[in-house]
Structure 1
């Protein structure tokens, strides 16, 4: 006579209990819970046996049980990783990759890099997202670039909504031939995507969109002799423009030799935009342009030698790819002297 299985025994017990005491609902629920617990334990034991069998056999052929367990684990990991972005969520400096922790730090430099990516997104998409706070970041050396993968919270003032934003910032260092004290690039500027999309981190030097005019050494200051169009930004547009404020901060960060730990009060005096582009009508949003910025550090002179008036030349270029932008800041007179010495 065939013995009933454990599952059938439990079903029979539930049935008898239900038939003899239909009002005893709690008893039925308890027995169902016991049955579920038994099968969960069996399932865990099944996977554990498969893993043990696989590890003990080493290079020997694995059994179907071990193979099925490994397939389930790999599939689950693959599904999870589709939602984890390279660099932003997973740090590949470690083997195996580790999760990038959320620190919610107030690091000024990382925040500045993140805001550059945010403004790149705004310029390319016609949006007005505002920086709210840093969430996390990781760093990696890729070729000649030092890259920072930044995740931050951004807000849309029109709706009050908050989104998770990702940007890959890369520091290409100084280029003496181009008179560039700093050369910064963004290779990604996007609202966080699930599933994760790969990043195109190849800057297109030969794109026809960047005229040779923007590939020569940075000028010391603007000149009427250069065959280009110049736009003198009216004072009414100077103080309520996130893009110009950011360019001023980038220039000041370069002036301070990238050694700022906190924001210092800055004030724009004047901005001249030089570009070859007829469109857009708003020259501040031209894909390729040179900005001549006069500004003042309003900090107490006793607290920092950087207090006072400054001038800066910043060149912005775009190779036409989404999320791609390059900012170059020219050496100041003092920095030029130090380099010559």
Structure 2
């Protein structure tokens, strides 16, 4: 993907847009349809009679993940109370009011979260607002430039201890954001579904670039590889063994937190063989990645997933 060039003109226009948004009615505290800049925002109330769709719940969890990552907290998602979104078919923006709890106190908190889709049917998401209601956060409200899509590795990330760290079972359980990343990748990459069936996803392994491990698994900037099985025949056919790649990035200057990635068949990942020796795996990361090619498009369906006949 060609990176966006930030010229003086585009930066000036972006700053003017941000200033104009600051004096508009906040969608977080306004009821009903809101005129926000040059577009209208529709309000959706979520309750037991009208549950929130899966996509917006995933967006809410992404916003909480940003807050926890930056603040060192562990707030857990409870529910979406309401959200506003742009009434357009193109990439939309969501203003979400979320209830979450701190496990140490069990007290509920109301969060305001903004998620912006960068393009249609693609896993490129930007979050520049995630805060407790009434709280001031110096990182909130900045401009977002997502950067480049991650590229597929040239070797198996789950069989190379020099480049990648493979998480153990307890680490997979303790880091719930790995499941979130997988569900976002499956929901957004080449898909426009609002309520996908994600019940057939099973994580097998997860690995992270070893270059960021000095900051721990919760490094602000990281690339994560997730090996998983997807038994949803309507989505992947018989190709149940999959791999997802997700890059997270945080720009301290703008406060923009981005998640982007994709998924494909695990058969496309090279395995270590006679033509791949240990001597070659220690090269610099930037020199051994290759550009990703077009991947098999997913099949859209409104029906529930059907399990494949053969399961492991």
Structure number with larger C-alpha Rg: 1
Cα distance, 1:162 vs. partner?
Answer: 0.4
Greater helix share, structure number: 1
Cα distance, 1:304 vs. partner?
Answer: 8.1
Call closer, same or farther: CA 1:316–1:330 in 2, change over 3 Å: same
Matched, 1:309 2:241: yes
Query: Tell me, which stretches of 5 or more residues in structure 2 are unaligned?
Result: 1-21, 269-292, 298-312
Matched, 1:92 2:92: no
Partner of 1:137: 83
Q: How does 1:81-230 map to 2 (within 5 A)?
A: 86-90=26-30, 91-93=34-36, 100=43, 102-104=45-47, 105-140=51-86, 146-173=92-119, 181-193=122-134, 199-203=140-144, 218-221=150-153, 223=155, 229-230=163-164
User: What is the aligned counterpart of 2:202 among 249, 267, 272?
Assistant: 267
Q: Does structure 1 retain, via aligned residues, the 8 Å contact 2:249–2:258?
A: yes
SS at the partner of 1:244? Answer: helix
Cα distance, 1:113 vs. partner?
Answer: 0.6
Q: Distance in 1 between matches of 2:238 and 2:104?
A: 37
Partner of 1:279: 214
Q: TM-score, with normalisation over the residues of structure 2?
A: 0.63
Aligned length: 237
Call closer, same or farther: CA 1:183–1:194 in 2, change over 3 Å: closer
Call closer, same or farther: CA 1:306–1:162 in 2, change over 3 Å: farther
Q: Distance in 1 between matches of 2:59 and 2:69?
A: 16
Query: For 1:281-334, what per-residue CA distance to the aligned partner results, in whole angstroms no more than 9, with x for missing partners?
Result: x2x2111111111012355x5898488321111111110258631111136369
Matched, 1:296 2:229: yes
Q: Distance in 2 between matches of 1:196 and 1:316?
A: 20
Query: For 1:129-154, what per-residue CA distance to the aligned partner results, in whole angstroms no more than 9, with x for missing partners?
Result: 11111111111389x96210000111
Q: Does structure 1 retain, via aligned residues, the 8 Å contact 2:203–2:229?
A: yes
Q: Distance in 1 between matches of 2:225 and 2:235?
A: 27
Partner of 1:49: none
Q: Does structure 2 retain, via aligned residues, the 8 Å contact 1:120–1:323?
A: no
User: What is the aligned counterpart of 2:260 among 328, 331, 334?
Assistant: 328
Cα distance, 1:275 vs. partner?
Answer: 5.4
Alignment root-mean-square deviation, CA: 4.0
Q: Distance in 1 between matches of 2:137 and 2:188?
A: 33
Q: How does 1:41-80 map to 2 (within 5 A)?
A: none
Q: Does structure 1 retain, via aligned residues, the 8 Å contact 2:80–2:97?
A: yes
Q: Does structure 2 retain, via aligned residues, the 8 Å contact 1:293–1:313?
A: yes
Q: TM-score, with normalisation over the residues of structure 1?
A: 0.58
Q: Distance in 2 between matches of 1:306 and 1:322?
A: 43
Q: Distance in 2 between matches of 1:124 and 1:85?
A: 27
